[in-house]
Amino acid sequence: MRTAEMKDATDVIRIVGMILLAIFVIAVGIPIVLTAAGITLGIIKILFGIAVLVIKLAVVVAIGYLILVGIRALLR
């Protein structure tokens, strides 16, 4: 039973990671492509701000995951 729960948790973490990666690629990739094409808009600053927020969120999720794994290892 525990293995199925851990597998579900791993799947959820994997999906969240994919979503964060997609948001980061969109937030960083679009401004780079627009800049390369010679189009500079005020939106670029907003997108870079979103990219920074996504990076911060990913760091918080990673630290939370490490703490969770550490607690789980201590409880075994």
Helix (H, G, I), strand (E, B) or coil at 70: helix
Predicted model pTM: 0.47
Range of the domain at 27: 2-75
Tens digit of pLDDT at every position of the chain (76 positions): 556 666 777 778 888 888 888 888 887 777 777 777 666 666 667 777 888 888 888 889 889 888 888 888 888 7
CA distance 60 to 65: 9
pLDDT at 40: 63
CA distances from 42 to 1, 23, 35 (A): 52, 19, 12
Cα 42 from chain centre: 24
Tally of domains within the chain: 1
pLDDT at 32: 76
Pure H helices in the chain = 2-36, 43-75
Position of tokens 């701000």? 49
